[in-house]
């Protein structure tokens, strides 16, 4: 088989309500997630054993990388005796809440499944993805989805609501620092139960938005993870407030951060917004204009 090139998109959480901590240490959540037209590319070609190279030297290419962990898990689950050489073109910044590592892992699963003659069906891939990480299963689905549980329960956004999200312009911006997801959730748990959104309330808020056909995507935006991140890293709320006041935007943080995003109207000139972001966060900031898919 010829080498494969699998696109591994980034994601953003438009709505993220953390509803409580589970007995297994994970958190339950209700989240609306959209993939982006921006992401990594994972090259896969048959080889003896598994290996990984990456064009970003800061990304570990050893067994701690989710791509290789996904490959080992796939081989174990399917008893596949083949191997693959992975080449990762990394574009999604780490520590951003954009799902880069999870998306890369799912790209590896999808590619290996093709190389191996598709021994796993959709549910089989989903079960394996859920073992790798809470964000992984969503990358097996196209279009905006709702995540529940710790992230393993995925449903498509209803047909009346998805068009309000799909195709929207979005500006994604990340400061020069990242935020570790375990730290963020530990800080959230330290303020429990006040930091959690009751599950019934989260579901009611989501249902109200879904059933209001006139409600734009901006009316959905919410993130439980902002308070701990904003308290620790004041550069985040400072810029979010500036973009609200100067440009009338509704910026939010994605996931556990540190990346934030702002939905843009088609007529909006992004140049002055990007200039304001760079003025606030400096040359180390990443700024990407893309679309929700």
pLDDT digits (tens, 9 = 90+) for 196-229: 999 999 999 999 999 999 999 999 999 999 999 9
The predicted pLDDT at position 118 comes to 97
pLDDT tens, 91-145? 999 999 999 999 999 999 999 999 999 999 999 999 999 999 999 999 999 999 9
**Which of the residues 11, 40, 90, 174 is marked catalytic?**
11
Mean pLDDT across the stretch 81-99?
Answer: 96
Contact 109, 194 (CB under 8 A): no
Coil, helix or strand at residue 73: helix
Q: Three-state secondary structure along 136-201?
A: HHHHHCCCCEEEECCCCEEEECCCCCHHHCCCCEEEEEECCCCCCHHHHHHHHHHCCCCCCCCHHH
Catalytic residue status for 11:
yes
Mean pLDDT across the stretch 144-165?
Answer: 96
The predicted pLDDT at position 64 comes to 92
Is residue 259 scored above 80 in pLDDT?
yes
Other Cβ atoms closer than 10 A to 70: 29
DSSP 291: E
Domains and CATH numbers, the chain: 4-156 (3.30.230.10), 163-291 (3.30.70.890)
Mean pLDDT of the chain: 96
The structure tokens listed for 39 are 């992401």
Whether pTM exceeds 0.85: yes
Q: How far apart are CA 172 and CA 266, in angstroms?
A: 16
Mean pLDDT across the stretch 69-81?
Answer: 97
Catalytic residue status for 232:
no
Contact 93, 100 (CB under 8 A): yes
The predicted pLDDT at position 1 comes to 67
Is residue 148 scored above 70 in pLDDT?
yes
**Which of the residues 90, 135, 174, 269 is marked catalytic?**
135
Angle at 133 between CA 132 and CA 134, to 5 degrees: 145
CA-based nearest residue to 293, from 38, 13, 34: 34
Coil, helix or strand at residue 260: strand
Coil, helix or strand at residue 32: strand
The owner of tokens 């959905």 is 220
Q: How far apart are CA 237 and CA 235, in angstroms?
A: 6
Q: How far apart are CA 154 and CA 148, in angstroms?
A: 7
The owner of tokens 């312009």 is 169
Count CA within 13 A, CB hemisphere, residue 78. 25
DSSP 74-142: HHHHHT----EEEEEE--SPTTSSS-HHHHHHHHHHHHHHHHTT--S-HHHHHHHHHHH-TTGGGGGS-
Percent of the chain clearing pLDDT 90 (strictly above): 97
Contact 52, 86 (CB under 8 A): yes
The predicted pLDDT at position 266 comes to 97
């Amino acid at each position: 088989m010829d080498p494969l090139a699998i696109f591994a998109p980034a994601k953003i959480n438009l709505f993220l309500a953390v509803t409580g901590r589970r007995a297994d240490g994970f958190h339950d959540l209700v989240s609306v997630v959209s993939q982006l037209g921006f992401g990594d590319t994972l090259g896969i070609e048959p080889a003896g054993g598994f290996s990984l190279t990456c064009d970003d030297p800061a990304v570990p290419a050893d067994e701690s990388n989710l791509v290789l962990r996904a490959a080992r898990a796939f081989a174990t689950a399917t008893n596949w005796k083949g191997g693959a050489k992975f080449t990762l073109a990394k574009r999604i910044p780490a520590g951003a809440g954009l799902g880069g590592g999870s998306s890369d892992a799912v790209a590896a699963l999808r590619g290996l499944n093709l190389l191996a003659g598709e021994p796993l069906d959709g549910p089989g891939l989903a079960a394996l993805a859920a073992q790798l990480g809470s964000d992984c299963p969503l990358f097996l689905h196209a279009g905006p989805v709702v995540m529940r549980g710790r992230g393993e329960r995925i449903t498509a956004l209803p047909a009346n609501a998805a068009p309000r999200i799909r195709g929207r312009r979005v500006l994604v911006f990340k400061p020069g620092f990242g935020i570790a997801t375990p730290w963020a959730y530990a800080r959230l748990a330290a303020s429990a139960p006040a930091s959690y959104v009751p599950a019934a309330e989260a579901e009611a808020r989501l249902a109200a938005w879904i059933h209001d056909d006139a409600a734009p995507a901006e009316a959905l935006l919410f993130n439980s993870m902002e308070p701990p991140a904003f308290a620790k890293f004041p550069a985040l709320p400072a810029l979010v407030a500036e973009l609200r006041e100067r440009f009338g935007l509704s910026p939010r943080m994605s996931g556990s951060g540190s990346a934030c995003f702002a939905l843009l109207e088609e007529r909006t000139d992004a140049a002055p917004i990007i200039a304001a972001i760079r003025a606030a966060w400096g040359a180390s900031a990443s700024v990407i204009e893309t679309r929700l898919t």
